Each structure stands twice: as structure tokens, then as C-alpha cells.
A and B are shown apart, each in its own frame.
Chain A
């Protein structure tokens, strides 16, 4: 095994859990998450020469996010055949759909220890992607605003406003479903 490969593994493999967790929350699907992670690692490896020794985790997670986005674009192109004038600039599908009536079925959610946690996972999975991703990166990966901004390729101000909106939405829907819980 050559030096480049050794260095890549040493820097990137420790973030496999984070890559998978992000892919799962983005795709909301076990099989797609697997594919996205494999794809992301291969792409990361191919562009490893462009890695300038910055933080490995945000660098890798940005690639995971890109892989997810391009997979979704592809899926959309397949679906969009009969539609006229779909040039890929339409609104985000999640956002266009607003708040879906039910969260995507998630097998792991079955194993949730409490009903409350399961319900909350459902609500989180149903958040529009732009809000879901910042919340996942902040709450589960505990990344800083700056790191999240670099992953979603947006200013810090955008991270802050999306995070606030994401929490407000999650709380609102939680309270609607379960009362104020106090």
C-alpha cells in the first residue's frame, strides 16, 4: 500500500460513522446511504490530491453531501422525462412538498427505545432537507457553524438562520403532537 493510500485511510476512515450518519439522515434510506458513502469515499480518494490538510471531517462530509445531491439530481432526471422544461433549477423537492404527511419509514426507528424518541426521529426525518442537514451536522456531529458553513457552501449567517428555523419547526411540530410536555 502506498503512502498516499495510507494517509487517506488514516485521515478519512475515522469519519466513516459521521459520513454514514449524514448519508442516512439525508437519504432516509439504508441502501441509498450505503451507496452514497461508498461513492463519497471513492470520490474523496480521487480528489485527495486537492486536500490541503484542512479538517478532514468537514471536507469528507461536503463530498458526502455532494454525492447525495447528484444522486438525487439523477433520480430526478429519470423521473422528469415526460415533463417539459425541467432544467434542474426547480425548487428543492422537499421544500416544494412542504411538510410531508408522514416521515419516510425507517427500520432502525423500530428499535427506538421510547415512543417519544421514535416520534421525534420521524419529525426530524420529515424536515425539509435544507433544515434537516444543518440540524444533523450540529446536533449529532457537533460541528461548529464555520464547519457547517463550509460543508453546505453557504455563509455562517445562513447556517444560523437555518438552524434557528429548523429548531423552531421541530419544536412546533413536537408540541403539536405531544402537548407542551411540561
Chain B
């Protein structure tokens, strides 16, 4: 026999009912021919699922292995930070040298230098800025070395497994050659310290890099432009996508909506 309060048996068993609701349900239980045997059966099931038989304990070495991974991560982060600090130290030294050259004109120039130093400090790159710079650097590296792709192919069934194995991402892949955005291949690149997958498209004389990585973080800003490059960032299906190109804005917009249209 069915009972319309059957679903409450689980909530009651799991202690999810508040006191009033639990009391009321207990009154119902006393007389319901469906709920009360169900509760008994579920209690039996719970007893059979006793934790000591079913709980899987980690092997002895796992904790140490986790800590070693964190150590390696700390080392890499520290290295990345040192190279960043290095840039600012060199800038500071350059300013100091300038001060020496202009020693005669003293105070005015010293103040100017201090103002300049302050300005530089204010321009210290934020998180999104660093990410943007890192993406553009990756793009420039690939253009400069004439190494646009690691795997030249427009076949998504060839690119997908390769990218999954190399960069830990399995994005949906589409070729939009018929719309003027031809998939020419895939590349593995580094953005900050992350290994990312890049899908490379050609649009007329322009190259569009579509960077993809796993999302576990706060989202970067949606759109940025610098040094003649513009980018759009969005998230879908647990992945972060970032399209970077020197193509004009409407053409980037068109590309992004093609990709997103395929995703949604």
C-alpha cells in the first residue's frame, strides 16, 4: 500500500526533520502500515552498511604523497614569485641610477623619481592582469617561433584524446571553417604555472587561440584588451575558456558566440 508520506521516512531516518515535524511523523508511523515497515527495513539496511566493513582507509603512504605534491607546488610558486620580484628590483635599480646621474639637480628629481616609483607600485599587476599577460605572452611566443600548433589537424577526434592526455582537459571541439574560422590544430602551452590546452583557429590573416583549462578557481575578468590583443574569458562545463586574438572586436565576438553556441 502506498503512503503519501513515504518520502519522509528517509528524512526521518537521516535526522533531517525538525523536532515538530519528527514528532508528528512519529505519530503517523505508529499507525501507518507502509511507513513503519519501510523504516524498519531502512534501519536494517543501515545496520548492514556498518562503516567498519565499508569505509575505505587510505594507504599509509598517501598522506606523505599529498604533502610532497604540495611541497613541489610551493617550490614552483616561489620560483614564479622570485622572477616577478626580479623585474621590480631591476626597475628600482634603474630609477636609482637615474637619480645618480641627476644628482646635481637634487630634490626635484628625487621627488619625481619617488613619484615614478609610487606610480610603478600602483601599476603592480593584479591577478587578472598577470593572467592576461601570461595568455598574450603564450600567444606571442607561438607566433614569434612560428610554432602555432603542436598537432596540425582539423579533426576533433584526433585532437580531443591528444589534448586530454597532454593538458588534462577534454573540451568539446568544433571546426567552424564554413563560418570563416578554420580549426588548424592544437597546442599545449603554459599559462602562469598551468598546463593548458590551446585550440588554434585561423580567421583570414588572424590567428585565434582558444585557451582551455580546468576551472577550480575564481573566474578571471570577462574581457580584456592590451598590446593590440583582445581576449574574452568565460566558463562552461567546469572549464575556463579564453579566446585571444589580434582580430577586430566584432570578429572575436562572432567567434566566441559560435563556440559558446556549440557548448550550450
List chain A residues, Cβ under 8 A from B160: 77, 80-81
Q: Which of A84, A161, A171, A181 gathers most chain B CB within 10 Å?
A: A171
A94 at the interface (CB under 8 A from B): no
Q: Which of A42, A83, A84, A116 contacts B48 (CB 8 A)?
A: A116
A35 to B65: give the CA distance in the assembly, Å: 10
List chain B residues, Cβ under 8 A from A2: 74
A117 x B53 contact (CB < 8 A): yes
A87 to B48: give the CA distance in the assembly, Å: 41
Q: Which of A1-54 contact B (CB under 8 A)?
A: 1-2, 5, 8-9, 13, 16-17, 19-21, 24-25, 30, 33-34, 37-38, 41-47, 49-50
B66 x A37 contact (CB < 8 A): yes
A167 to B66: give the CA distance in the assembly, Å: 34
A95 at the interface (CB under 8 A from B): no
B63 at the interface (CB under 8 A from A): yes
Q: How large is the interface on B (under 10, 10 to 19, 20 to 34, 35 or more residues)?
A: 35 or more
A20 x B57 contact (CB < 8 A): yes
A160 x B53 contact (CB < 8 A): no
Query: Interface on A for B, CB 8 Å cutoff?
Result: 1-2, 5, 8-9, 13, 16-17, 19-21, 24-25, 30, 33-34, 37-38, 41-47, 49-50, 63, 66, 69-70, 73-74, 76-78, 80-84, 87-88, 108, 112-114, 116-117, 120-121, 124, 138-140, 144-145, 160-161, 163-164, 167, 170-171, 174, 181
Query: Interface on B for A, CB 8 Å cutoff?
Result: 7, 10-11, 14, 16, 41-42, 44-46, 48-51, 53-59, 62-63, 65-67, 69-70, 73-74, 157-158, 160-161, 164-165, 168-170, 172, 214, 216-218, 237-238
